[in-house]
Amino acid sequence: MFYTDGKLQFPVRVEKPNPAFARALQQAIGGVEGEIRVCLQYMFQAFGARGPAKYRDMLLNTATEELGHIEMLSTAVALNLENAPLSFKEDMAADPVGGAVLNGTDFRHILSTGLAALPSDANGVPFDASHVYASGNLAADMYANVTAESSGRVLAVRLYNMTDDPGMKEMLSFLIARDTMHQQQWLAAIEDMGGEASLPIPNSFPQEQEQQQFSYAYFGHMTDGSIPEGRWTSGPTMDGKSEFQAMPSKPMGDKPTLAPARPDSGAQVEQTSRSGTGGMMGRVEGAIERNLLS
């Protein structure tokens, strides 16, 4: 259950409305780095969270906070669209060089919402939840959340640097601060669940059942056999269970062999046998080859 009192989480004010910046703010609403994404990500992680209830409660609280951020940013979009031109004639009269519409305003802010925000990114692409990650593994989800908050903070910093409006800078500085906290929050949750000692994820799968000679090996794929040396190529592994090693990658398998195409699969006649022979001979040859490989 959710509640609201209709008030903004943090003040939103715009001193100099800018329709082009309204479009840029859409990325923070409906972009892959945006607030709709993290809101739904935390919410669905919470809905499926199993285990200690504190993790579900933490996720729901933060998902609810992100709803407030969507509200703030949507308000900022609407305020930046105040007094925006509603026609080319009006626009060109104000700015003969090109006007706001021709210089960056999202037409849908005029045509679809009447000067209000959209659940879409800065290019007008609707949010589709394709980057909402809720795996059912809390540790995996927390790492995904660190990434989400990191890319979100990068976006907020870029928006902060893009505008000279004092009110927008103030709002964005608040959102940047919250991204700082949320990065720390998810990292703290990872530590609370065992941190690096709980790796690899999932830690419920017995490692003796994996090909352990490759578990901590860095594969190099450079044609000259060189390896980009770093923390990942030598020394103790992050989970403390082994040592990193580096090795040039070499093929361990053969070239794949597929059976010839079936005659009724829509392939060319030449695909129905390995020799590419057509006619009756090719069909017989292909049938024999398929039976041998089945």
236 DSSP β-pair partners: 243
Specify the DSSP element, H or E, that contains 70: helix 53-80
d(CA 101, CA 273): 61
At a CB cut-off of 8 Å and minimum separation 6, what does 83 contact? 17
At a CB cut-off of 8 Å and minimum separation 6, what does 22 contact? 76, 77, 78, 80, 81, 84, 105, 106, 109, 117
131 is in an annotated binding site: no
The full DSSP string for 157-191 is: HHHHHH---HHHHHHHHHHHHHHHHHHHHHHHHHH
Closest CA to 14 of 174, 162, 173, 167: 167
69 is in an annotated binding site: yes
The answer to whether 236 and 197 have CB atoms below 8 angstroms apart is: no
Chain centre to alpha carbon of residue 132: 7
Closest CA to 172 of 157, 185, 183: 157
The answer to whether 37 and 27 have CB atoms below 8 angstroms apart is: no
285 is in an annotated binding site: no
Tokens of 289: 């080859």
191 is in an annotated binding site: no
Tokens of 219: 């594969």
Q: How many CB atoms lie within 10 A of CB 64?
A: 16
Q: How many CB atoms lie within 10 A of CB 234?
A: 13
d(CA 253, CA 172): 53
66 is in an annotated binding site: yes
Binding site feature residues for Ca(2+): 57
Binding residues for Mn(2+): 35, 66, 69, 149, 182
Give binding residues as ranges. 35, 57, 66, 69, 149, 182
